[in-house]
Structure 1
Amino acid sequence: MVKAYLRFEHDKAVGVVTSRECNVAFDETGRFALTGAVESVGIWNLRQGVQEKALVLANSTDRVSRLCMQAGGLRCAAGYLDGTVRIWDLKAHHVLQTFQGHRSAVTCFAFDKAGQLLASGSNDTDLVVWDLVNESGLARLKGHVDAVTAVTFWEAAASPVRLISASKDRLIRIWSLEMQICLQALAEHTEVYALALNEAQTRLAAGSSAKFLHFWSLDPEAKTSESGDLLLANFLGAVPRTEGQGHALTLQFAHVDHLEVLLCQGSGRTLEVFRVFSEQEVSKRKKRRERRAKAKLRKKGTEAGPAGAADVEAAEEQEDEDAEGSHAADEITPLQTHRCSAKALSMAWNPKTKTVLLGLTNNLLESVRITASEEGAGVLLTATPTLEFAGHRTGVRALAVAMDDSMFMSLSSESVKIWSASTGRCVRTLPSGYGLCGFFLAGNEHVLIGTKEGSLELYDIQIGELSESLEAHSGAVYGLALRPDQKGCASGSADRTLRFFDFEFTKGSQKSVKITEQAERSTELPDEILAVAYSANSKYVNVALLNHTVVVLFEDSLKFYLSLYGHRLPVMALDVSDDSQMIASGSADKNVRLWSCQFGNCLKSLKAHSESVMQVRFLPGTHYLATAGRDHMLKLWDCDSYELITSLQGHACEILAMALSQDAAFIVTAGNDKQIRMWKRTQEQLFLSEERAKELEDQFEQEVEREDLPGAATAPRPSRRTVESVRTTERLMEVLDEAKEAEEQLAAEGIDEAAIEVGQGARHPCARAIAYINTLNASNIYEVLLALPFAHALQLLKVILRFLEAVASLPGGEGAQARGKALSAAATLQTPCQAALIAAYVHHSELAATSSCRPILMRLKSQMQLLLQAEKDRIGLTMAGLSHLQSLMKRSGLPTEPQAAAPRAPKKAAKRRRAT
């Protein structure tokens, strides 16, 4: 009989405000902030300090790498580490469009002003322009040789839309979307990380790893240099970042009252504000600079005497020639610098509230309001209080679940946080020492933690205060185990001592706990203690040491019982099964070893993880083992058959902590990504054979590669081959085979089905194939047909030809309605015609070499031209009719725009009744 297990699935993720790899964004109103919280897009209410919604797909583990808001604030573009681009509706909270064209993480986004085009850059060095109206890729721009870091649309008046991109290859490129070529390349000395265009689209600012901001003047009318190159951008100069720290990661031109400023966010702790002068102010500054330069030259000439007069005159002439052009120093100057509480990751600007939102490395959001000063020549930076969202500032080192499974605890270097297990909200934050381990005491009103400083700290959850602190060790407390009778505990430390404590519970209106040490029972071991675990029968105390061994001691006498050898590196975690028959130890050597408690022999050594094993826990009442490691994976094992049950992934960094509920209904994991993930047990059964097959499919999806034909390589399309597209191709092949067999059967029976019958179109095999073709969308049709073999592609062309001929043979007049019914029942013309063109393009060489295909292509061409022209005329006639109707409504004084709906009568009646 095949053994079945219950499946664990991801339930919720809490604790992350903003991920390190993703930027932050504002909505249009400035009330909500959008952040990348690992695999979800978090929408945060800045006034209330709570998360309103998390935008995430079910069972998705792809992490968000980039966010960008569309003009109007109704849609958000999210890029992921696997190269996927998704457009989210912020009101309905669902995905509108999904694009797959990049092969690695999306690093930058830009919408055009109309919101119809989206440009995305990636680590795969490509730029892709997406058409949001047609839901397809418009162009793939190749030219950069390193990761693309910034992209923006250049939409100057009375000129075609162009694209400007920056990369780590030290180049800034200006692209033509019409010709899909690079018009001009601007060389930088260092890697470029940020770009910004002013509102007039005449100045380009670039931020790099250098301590300067570089500026160019933009002219949409292309000029030709002496070498024949186009000059769309002319270098103006560089402005030093006098107080800036690190790389310039984000640049933004903004208006603050009557001032125009440039915001620069560096990779350090600084937000720099530069003032952008108006044209009148620029001319005054230029004249002032010229006067100072000439005065300096005259002073030098006077000191040099008559011999230097000629040199002074030549220098003045050269100075006059240089002064004819603009200089960046005349247009921009530093104003003020704001220092953040931690290093900044990203920046977002909201023009309505005049507020800058900063995402910090310590998992916080910080906002700065910018206002003009009273003098009018400067700005005032007002930092609002740091938004204390639920989440740790540093990595989570330990977890513990309450004895009634109602809440769980997380420990980090700065605080202890208590979370609700049902809602995932933080209910209590307790400032503490550097917690490394801990647990709930009986009654779930107190928690005890061991700190890096060597002390034991007891906290009262009800009042949120430290009740008692005991200096128990001289080194860090790495292991803390609750005694099975829940009346005491054991602690192991880096000072090599194992100490024991008792709990004294006082009854009354104010329940309290007192900790007393069993001084006579402390013992010293050969090396540092990394983990401590009691056996369920209270007979043994198991201790993991830094010297790669596990020592088993008698609990009553603390005499030596067993020493478990076998690991090659320190043992990081330890646990004992509930029947006290098996010990599991996880080590930095990536292995998990299972030991017998009776004789100390090693039952099995499991190659559990690809990195160090940090946690091992037996599921209560079973021999199922949960392990977590630095490879970001949580795994479940059957320790009776020594088989892997399942692997769960979702963490962005190594997992350092793990805890289980009392009935194993859920598992909680956390790590250096500051994320706390909950995995719940479902009633769905899991079979090992199906799980291994699923793992092979996932591996195939990761290893799948593009195999474009040489013809497609010259004009690569913005798409990417996935397992879904391969499966769709296989299903299309099955549909075409079924249609061919059905037609052969009809021919054998002597049934004449030369045309598609109106009203029974869906029953015809050709119509069923067309109906499936219409399920293909613009984002995957190219990849689906690219993988289609030539024989099936030829069959596809024949099916489309039969369909078009059947539609063309429908009668006119009264039959126009019948034709509409046939089209609605079977398909529309757009997708079949698009499929025919792509299939002919992909298999052009085979079709040209096959003489029997020429008549099919000629008939297909004539039918497509006739039907598409008729469809074009019909649409044009409809638009003309709508325009005429709109003009008639305007002449009659009728509104042509939708009006707001009037209040409903029942509501008014209800108010009237209540008033009486």
Structure 2
Amino acid sequence: MVKIYYKYKPQRIFGLIYSAKPSIITSSKFPELIITPALENIFVWNLQKGELEKQSMGIESEITIMALSPDSKTLATGHQNGVICLWHSHSLECICKLFGHYSQISALSFNHDGTLICSGSKDTDLICWDVVSERGLFRLRGHRDEITDCKFLKKKNWIVSSSKDKLIKFWDLDSQYCVHTIAGHRNEVWSFDIDNDENFLISGSNDQKLRVWFLQNLLENSINEKEIEKEINPLNTKIVYMGEIIKQSTERVIKIRFVRNAKYLVCQTSGKKLQIFKVRNQNEVEKKMIRTQKRKIEKLKKLEKLEKPQKQSQENDNENDEKKNQQLITLKFANLITIRGSSKIVSFSIPEKTQLEIRKGKVKSKSKMKIILGLNNNSIESYELKFAEKANEQIKTKLKKAITQQGHNSDIRSLKISHDDNLVGTTSSEAVKIWSISTAMPLQTIDSGYGLCCLFAPGDRYFIIGTKNGEIQIFDFLSSKLIESIEKAHLGAIWTMDMNPDGSGIITGGADKCVKFWEFELVDSVYENENENENENENSKKIKKRNKSKSIEMEEENENKKPPKKQLTVVHSKTLKVSDDVLCVRYSPKGRYIGVSLLNSTIQIFFADSLKFYLALYGHKLPAMSMDFSSDETLIATGSADKNLKIWGLDFGDCHRSIFAHDDSIMQVKFVPETHYIFTASKDKTISYWDADSFEKIMSLSGHKAEIWAMDLNSNGTFLITGSHDKSIRVWTKSDEQFVLQEQKENELDSLFEDSLIQDSEKARHLENFLERNDENAVISESKTAAKKSLETYKGAEKLLESLELIEKIFGSNDDFSEKDFSIPSNNPLFMGLSPSEYLLKIMMEIKSNDLEEAILVIPFTSALRLLKFLHFWIVNKNQVELSLRCLLFIVKVYQKQIVSNKIAVSLLDDLQIPAKNSISNLKDLVGFNLAAMRFLQNQVEEVQGKIFKRKRKKKTEIEIEVIDTNECNYYNECELCLTHFIDRSCGWCNDSSSCFSGNYSGPFNQSCSQNSWFFGPDSNCSGPPPPSPPPSPSPSVSPSPSPFPTNDCETYYNNCALCLQHYYDRSCGWCYWDSKCYYGDNNGPIGTQCETNGWFYGPTSYCYIPSPSPSPSPNPTTSSSSDSIGAGGVAGIVIGGVLVISVIIIVFLLYRKKRNSGLKTFPVAEETQKIIDN
């Protein structure tokens, strides 16, 4: 009879925060979210809340590196097996998988528009991928060791890559060859970066120096004719070594990056330090050089040696350019601060978003930088760097937030499921954690010793652990306290612990060659009594102050005394001494036997009641690390460090079967309750499922990326939980999916066959590389195809061959192939009612874009010749032209010699010359027409909405917020745009004229708007003259939506427009122009008010103006002809405002001249504002 089994599948993973890989990402659009790799998953953390927002699952291989596209929409992950996955960054859905590398991905980078990806791997290859078509473009070969970093250039279509072979290479993507090589390092180049202007390249190695290279001449588009005539070596002239930056840490560089528009340089080393350098601009460097020269001259004047040393220094400067360059680099890159993490720093990220704050109605830029660190102890830290506003002040660093509670900082050494199967307790070297299995969230975290074993006491309130230093610690996780610690419970480490089946006590085994028995007892709570005594002392002091009579105090104290509370403890009852260290002890399920595993590789069985010796099990070559009894007490299974699983009978102690179960030591063995099924966990990162009756392997569970230390099953065997060295906790549940062992064996054989195919292709590649490097006459090609042979490639090739053979069987051989008509639908049911041409095209489109070329390469030439006929048919009929041309060009490239000697193929290619050109031109025209239509629609939308999709920012020097030219407020001719400048208040809305005017923090420049009606003025009470003749408005009776603010009393609570303005974002309150009052509401408008939708200021359909029969006045008072809107007061206001503006400009101009002449540092302003002041 065939035996049916049920599959165990992974359900969830928790306990991970950051898997210590050099990738941690923050998005400029969502600065509060952090994207971290969590082994094979992607986690999105909310830094403010400290909670996990999203997570992805489904990829088996571990993530080694991540990269985010410039528009923050696409996330790329590189994996251990060489696969690159593209994800939607918001939904974390996998878009596609890219196969091309043969080893783990070590470098990833997007280009400036996010359409290309460059990836580097341990296989020394560099591959350029097309994100849009989801395929590899080409493979660049030239490095001889692992690629450590790569980056696209903007000025030229180039890629820069660094490697462990001590080289930095520049690759031209057009010619697909290396054009320049920097060989200035003596050790491995671990990272590099290029500034935004692409003038400087900074590279880091194993030493204490960061090397700086000047690239401006290299990236110039024009080439000097004199250089061409002289044939100067471009390596010596176009890349200039400028000097070096000395970093504080002596450890090797991990990552170098320019941040905040290349104003700062951040260097991460392999230790706990993160060093930040200030990158000075050209003006600052010149000022610094002038100051240093002045100081030198002053020193020389004091020494009365001004003339001779000055001439010598000029001669030395002319002779030695290296000193000049080094001096320039020293001045340009100034050490700013060094941040020290609590543990080793693995990765860092700095959000680019600028923070703003408003104080007393004024906008001030926060001179702060947020730095997020990913540490190797499974934690994330966020630091806030506050820059000094004055020269004498120091830069302040503050730890703002840390995510540490959601996981252990070290290995999970043991775990135990509670008796009710709702909780799981885990131990590590620093803490004990109690988790909820249903929510995968930590309930309690308590500091503890190095826990090696653990269990829940009866009632699941107390958690008991055995530590490495021989202590037994008891925790009350409801009160989050260590209630008792029994020191020297063993004289060595307590390796194992188990509970008596009747729940009366526990048994422990340690390195002191003793097995000790402990019984549970309830004693008075020490901690509760201490707390009560403290409370009583405080109460007695208060009573003494109020009542002076001592007799009354004693009576009240006696009345308030409560009976002492009880707490759990363990009392040593007896000891069993053995011949060697105890590694594992277990009670049998019925409590008849006790199994003891010793360091001498033997297992001894004792009677539980009398502790008499019963059986000795010999056979393991190394000590048995774990063992377990079956529920019927007929079998005992032992797992050893010799990688063998042995199944013994308890009647005579005979070994039923010895199975080579794993590739490394077996750490845990568990029987499924009421069955003879066994789970084993090993150091080889896998879990195996066995049948102890048939001695066959049922299935294997893989997912952990490091050694598995702990495992436990629930009371009925429906799920198991494992803990590993990778700091993850995984839950595996029993599914309803049934299978037979024969099916599982066939699947395993298929997977082995797939692995062998991949290994064969890798061996062929290594052999090819070896022959090329050792053959002196061999011509090494630096560019090859990007795709590689994978399982998907073979599947696609098989489908293509089957379809071509099917067509050949029906329509004949190659001789009559060119005379057949393949557009007629076939009656064959295999074609599914399609014509042969449509059927083959469907098969071709099902093959992934990245595997198409490799699939065509696998098929023989005869099949490729048949395919050529269909490609001719598709191109002529303009059906999938792009796909057809791509396949045609690849076939011609690969089978060029065979095609030339074949008449049919030559005639087909001759016939395709004109149709192919016409198809390409038509396709190009179609794309251009669609692009023009999209731009037209974009312009229409911009005109309707008044929004600009891509607003160009003005050039900035030092300030990080956009400076608005408030003199041209006509640009903000709609209130919606005017409202976007609520923060800087450079523009404001006027209730008098229902127009937008320029202004400052005090009010409008245009005095045609009265002060009270200026909405954004700090003194405004929003009670300007109401609009003329408002029409009657309906009063809908709609219940208000729930809001976190007390919006039901909006008229009294938000009785000021300034308070109402604070709730612009949640729109829980809004100002009504019709009656100049504040009302509560929701996103759609006011609720239960007398304000109509058009007058509701914060409604999404609001036009922010009141329809008026009279025309609105012009923003320019000199051109206005309406005497009613301006009047005498308006003219006086205009004159006063003009005088104030002119006086302010004069004062700023004088202060600027004074500071520039005195040599003091000027305030950073925008270039356009600076030009206005200079003029």
User: Which of 249, 252, 269 is the matching residue for 2:254?
Assistant: 249
Query: Which amino acid is the alignment partner of residue 186 of structure 1?
Result: I
- The reply on whether 1:404 has 2:404 as its aligned counterpart is no
User: Which of 190, 193, 213 is the matching residue for 2:190?
Assistant: 193
User: Which of 727, 730, 742 is the matching residue for 2:795?
Assistant: 727
Contact 2:434/2:443 (8 A) holds in 1: yes
Aligned to 1:824: none
**For each residue in 1:852-892, what CA deviation from the matched residue of structure 2 results, as whole angstroms up to 9, or x when unmatched?**
432233334454344444444455556667778889x6999
Higher mean alpha-carbon deviation, 503-512 vs 366-375, is at 503-512
Aligned to 2:852: 781
What's the CA shift for 1:11?
A: 1.1
Aligned to 2:385: 370
What's the CA shift for 1:798?
A: 2.1
Q: Distance in 2 between matches of 1:906 and 1:637?
A: 73
Aligned to 2:664: 611
Q: Secondary structure at the match of 1:448?
A: strand
- The reply on whether 1:492 has 2:493 as its aligned counterpart is no
Query: Which amino acid is the alignment partner of residue 5 of structure 1?
Result: Y
What's the CA shift for 1:742?
A: 3.8
Query: Which amino acid is the alignment partner of residue 341 of structure 1?
Result: S
Higher mean alpha-carbon deviation, 185-194 vs 497-506, is at 497-506
* RMSD between superposed Cα atoms in Å: 3.7
Q: Secondary structure at the match of 2:191?
A: strand
Mapping of residues 344-359 of structure 1, within 5 Å: 344-352=345-353, 354-359=369-374
User: Which of 163, 167, 189 is the matching residue for 2:163?
Assistant: 167
User: Which of 589, 599, 621 is the matching residue for 1:536?
Assistant: 589
User: Which of 637, 653, 674 is the matching residue for 1:621?
Assistant: 674
Aligned to 1:431: 447
Mapping of residues 262-281 of structure 1, within 5 Å: 262-281=265-284
What's the CA shift for 1:274?
A: 1.4
Mapping of residues 331-730 of structure 1, within 5 Å: 331-352=332-353, 354-376=369-391, 379-471=395-487, 472-504=489-521, 514-519=568-573, 521-703=574-756, 704=758, 705-706=760-761, 715-730=783-798
What's the CA shift for 1:189?
A: 1.8
**For each residue in 1:789-829, what CA deviation from the matched residue of structure 2 results, as whole angstroms up to 9, or x when unmatched?**
22222222223334445x27xxxxxxxxxxxxxxxxxx532
**For each residue in 1:700-725, what CA deviation from the matched residue of structure 2 results, as whole angstroms up to 9, or x when unmatched?**
33331447999997741222221122
Q: What's the % identity of the aligned pairs?
A: 30
Aligned to 1:139: 138
TM-score, L = length of structure 2: 0.69
**For each residue in 1:96-136, what CA deviation from the matched residue of structure 2 results, as whole angstroms up to 9, or x when unmatched?**
23222211111122222222222111111111222222322
Aligned to 2:239: 233
Q: Distance in 2 between matches of 1:907 and 1:356?
A: 50
Aligned to 1:818: none
Q: Distance in 2 between matches of 1:553 and 1:397?
A: 27
Q: Distance in 2 between matches of 1:501 and 1:886?
A: 78
- The reply on whether 1:739 has 2:739 as its aligned counterpart is no
Q: Secondary structure at the match of 1:522?
A: strand
- In structure 2, the CA distance between the partners of 1:890 and 1:769, relative to structure 1 (3 Å rule), is closer
Q: Distance in 2 between matches of 1:36 and 1:754?
A: 51
What's the CA shift for 1:692?
A: 2.2
What's the CA shift for 1:698?
A: 2.5
Q: Secondary structure at the match of 2:485?
A: strand
Contact 1:194/1:251 (8 A) holds in 2: yes
Q: Distance in 1 between matches of 2:719 and 2:332?
A: 60
Contact 2:164/2:189 (8 A) holds in 1: yes
Q: Distance in 2 between matches of 1:778 and 1:94?
A: 19
- In structure 2, the CA distance between the partners of 1:865 and 1:280, relative to structure 1 (3 Å rule), is closer
Higher relative contact order (CA 8 A, sep 6+): 1
Query: Which amino acid is the alignment partner of residue 175 of structure 2?
Result: M
Q: Secondary structure at the match of 1:206?
A: strand
**For each residue in 1:568-591, what CA deviation from the matched residue of structure 2 results, as whole angstroms up to 9, or x when unmatched?**
112111111111111111111111
Mapping of residues 59-70 of structure 1, within 5 Å: 60-70=59-69
Q: Distance in 2 between matches of 1:715 and 1:263?
A: 34
Higher mean alpha-carbon deviation, 142-151 vs 219-228, is at 219-228
Q: Distance in 2 between matches of 1:321 and 1:515?
A: 74
Gap regions ≥5 residues in structure 2: 356-368, 525-561, 773-778, 950-973, 977-1033, 1041-1084, 1090-1175
- In structure 2, the CA distance between the partners of 1:908 and 1:510, relative to structure 1 (3 Å rule), is farther
Query: Which amino acid is the alignment partner of residue 830 of structure 1?
Result: E
Aligned to 2:1049: none
Which one has a larger percent strand, Structure 1 or Structure 2? Answer: 1
Q: Distance in 2 between matches of 1:272 and 1:418?
A: 38
Aligned to 2:177: 181
What's the CA shift for 1:849?
A: 3.6
Q: Distance in 1 between matches of 2:693 and 2:624?
A: 22
Contact 1:218/1:233 (8 A) holds in 2: yes
Contact 2:1037/2:1088 (8 A) holds in 1: no
Aligned to 1:854: 906
Count, aligned residues: 877
Q: Distance in 2 between matches of 1:424 and 1:40?
A: 15
Larger-Rg structure: 2
What's the CA shift for 1:463?
A: 1.8
Q: Distance in 2 between matches of 1:861 and 1:539?
A: 89
Q: Secondary structure at the match of 1:595?
A: strand
Query: Which amino acid is the alignment partner of residue 94 of structure 1?
Result: E
Q: Distance in 2 between matches of 1:586 and 1:178?
A: 59
What's the CA shift for 1:636?
A: 0.9
Q: Secondary structure at the match of 2:747?
A: helix
**For each residue in 1:454-488, what CA deviation from the matched residue of structure 2 results, as whole angstroms up to 9, or x when unmatched?**
12122222222222222321111111011111221
Contact 1:501/1:515 (8 A) holds in 2: no
- The reply on whether 1:210 has 2:263 as its aligned counterpart is no
Q: Distance in 1 between matches of 2:861 and 2:1037?
A: 68
Q: Distance in 2 between matches of 1:299 and 1:206?
A: 41
What's the CA shift for 1:655?
A: 0.6
What's the CA shift for 1:284?
A: 4.0
What's the CA shift for 1:39?
A: 0.4
**For each residue in 1:393-432, what CA deviation from the matched residue of structure 2 results, as whole angstroms up to 9, or x when unmatched?**
0000001111121121111011111111122121221221
Q: Secondary structure at the match of 1:532?
A: strand
- In structure 2, the CA distance between the partners of 1:320 and 1:342, relative to structure 1 (3 Å rule), is closer
Aligned to 1:91: 90
**For each residue in 1:289-325, what CA deviation from the matched residue of structure 2 results, as whole angstroms up to 9, or x when unmatched?**
66788999999999xxx9x999999657635895388
Q: Distance in 2 between matches of 1:688 and 1:907?
A: 69
**For each residue in 1:538-591, what CA deviation from the matched residue of structure 2 results, as whole angstroms up to 9, or x when unmatched?**
111100111111111111111111111111112111111111111111111111
What's the CA shift for 1:452?
A: 1.0
Query: Which amino acid is the alignment partner of residue 270 of structure 2?
Result: S
Contact 1:245/1:268 (8 A) holds in 2: no
- In structure 2, the CA distance between the partners of 1:129 and 1:309, relative to structure 1 (3 Å rule), is closer
Q: Distance in 1 between matches of 2:894 and 2:1039?
A: 66
Q: Distance in 1 between matches of 2:933 and 2:345?
A: 56
Contact 2:645/2:659 (8 A) holds in 1: yes
What's the CA shift for 1:200?
A: 2.3
Query: Which amino acid is the alignment partner of residue 851 of structure 2?
Result: N
What's the CA shift for 1:335?
A: 2.2
What's the CA shift for 1:228?
A: 1.9
What's the CA shift for 1:266?
A: 1.1
